[in-house]
Amino acid sequence: MNDKLSTKLGLWLCRIGFHKYRVIEVKFGFGTAGKVETVECERCGEVTTRRAK
């Protein structure tokens, strides 16, 4: 698979909601159970947070 094709496939996956997240920050607390991770998609750069167990 060449780079262009894999990039296209990746962006398509992002569009349908399958991002390739990597964890950039982990926070504990907020009075909730568990921890909160800040994650960034390696492909499209979308940043979001998610609750981790």
Interface residue with Zn ion among 35, 36, 37, 41 (CB under 5 A) is 41
Q: Which of 26/44 has CB closer to Zn ion?
A: 44
What's the CA angle centered on 37, arms 6 and 53, to 5 degrees?
Answer: 105
44 binds Zn ion (CB under 5 A): yes
Contacts to Zn ion from residues 4-33, by CB under 5 A: 14, 19
4 contact partners, CB below 8 Å, separation of at least 6:
none
Contact 24, 9 (CB under 8 A): no
Q: List contacts with Zn ion (CB under 5 A).
A: 14, 19, 41, 43-44, 46
